[in-house]
Amino acid sequence: MPELDFDVITLGHGSGGRLTNDLLEAGVFRLFQNKELQQRHDGATLDIKGRIAFSTDNYVISPVFFPGSNIGELAVNGTVNDLAMCGARARYISLGLILEEGLKMEELWEILAAIKISAENTGVSIVTGDTKVVEKGKGDSIFINTTGIGEVHPRSNINIDRIEPGDAIILSGPMATHGIAIMTMREGLKFESEIRSDTRPVHLMALKLIESLGDNIKMLRDPTRGGVATVLNEISRQRKLGVELDENSFPVNRQVAAACEVLGLDPLYVANEGIFIAIVKESVSGQVIDILKTFKDGKEAVQIGKITREHAGKVYVNSSIGGKRVAGMLAGEQLPRIC
Is the model's pLDDT at 330 over the cut of 90? no
Portions of the chain given CATH number 3.90.650.10: 160-326
**pLDDT confidence bin for 120, thresholds 50/70/90:** very high
Pairing of the two strands 315-318 and 277-280: unpaired
pLDDT tens by residue, 12-59:
887 778 888 888 887 778 888 888 888 888 888 877 778 999 999 999
The string over 247-256, giving b where at least 16 C-beta atoms fall within 10 Å of a residue's C-beta and e elsewhere, is beebbbbebb
Class of domain 34-152: alpha beta
pLDDT confidence of residue 14:
75
pTM (2 d.p.): 0.89
Is residue 8 very low, low, confident or very high in pLDDT (cuts 50, 70, 90)? confident
| pLDDT score, position 167 | 98
Per residue in 273-325, pLDDT (tens digit) is 999 999 999 999 999 999 999 999 999 999 999 999 999 999 999 988 888 99
Give the percent of the chain with pLDDT over 70.
100
pLDDT of residue 333: 75
Whether residue 199 has pLDDT greater than 90: yes
Average pLDDT score over the chain: 92
Residue 309 has a pLDDT of 96
Residue 206 has pLDDT above 90, yes or no: yes
Would you state the pLDDT for residue 336? 81
pLDDT at 166: 98
Ranges in the chain annotated CATH 3.30.1330.10: 34-152
Residue 228: pLDDT band by 50, 70, 90 thresholds? very high
Looking at residue 276, what is its pLDDT? Answer: 98
Selecting from 3.90.650.10, 3.40.50.10540, 3.40.50.300, 1.10.10.60, what CATH number does the domain 160-326 have?
Answer: 3.90.650.10
